[in-house]
């Protein structure tokens, strides 16, 4: 799972801190599943995760098989700044997104926050 790569640090942290990280990771995993469903149904054999990494960073991870059965992976990272939204895919350079994509992302984030609060955190 893509989220697993975010928390791979081998640590000498105390048990409580390790547990805190594990809990946080678990919450994020749940959010990512709900986030992945915002953009519609996921095809059989495919995987999609969308989640809030921090206050200004959003991650969209998608995996599917192409017509030849080859696995395709696309990682998209959005960096939200006060003056606009930057986007990078599969480790390439960041570029500013257009106004329509920015609006679409905002709508997706609103839906995400609403659904996650309601279904994960019960608020």
Contact residues for another protein (CB under 8 A)? 16, 19-20, 22-24, 26-28, 30-31, 34, 52, 54-56, 58, 80-85, 99, 102-103, 105-106, 109-110, 112-113, 116-117, 119-123
| Strand order across the 84-89 sheet | 47-54, 57-65, 71-81, 84-89, 95-96
65: Cβ contacts below 8 Å, ≥ 6 apart: 45, 46, 71, 72
Closest separation between CB of residue 4 and another protein, Å? 14
Going 62 to 90 to 22 to 55, the CA torsion angle's sign is negative
- Which lies closer to another protein via its Cβ, residue 64 or residue 97? 97
Task: Closer to another protein by CB, 72 or 84: give it.
Answer: 84
Residue 121 DSSP one-character state: S
Provide, rounded to whole angstroms, the least separation between the CB of residue 85 and another protein.
5
Q: Which is nearer to another protein, 38 or 105 (CB)?
A: 105
CB 72 within 8 A of CB 51: no
Distance of closest approach, residue 110 Cβ to another protein, in angstroms: 7
């Amino acid at each position: 799972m893509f989220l697993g790569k975010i928390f791979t640090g081998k640590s000498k942290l105390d048990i409580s801190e390790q547990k805190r990280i594990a809990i946080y990771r678990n919450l994020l995993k749940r959010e990512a599943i709900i986030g992945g469903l915002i953009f519609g149904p996921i095809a059989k054999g495919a995987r999609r995760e969308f989640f809030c990494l921090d206050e200004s960073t959003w991650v969209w991870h998608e995996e599917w098989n192409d017509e030849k059965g080859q696995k395709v992976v696309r990682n998209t990272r959005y960096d939200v700044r006060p003056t606009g939204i930057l986007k990078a895919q599969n480790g390439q350079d960041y570029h500013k997104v257009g106004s329509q994509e920015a609006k679409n992302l905002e709508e997706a984030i609103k839906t995400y926050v609403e659904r996650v609060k309601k279904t994960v955190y019960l608020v």
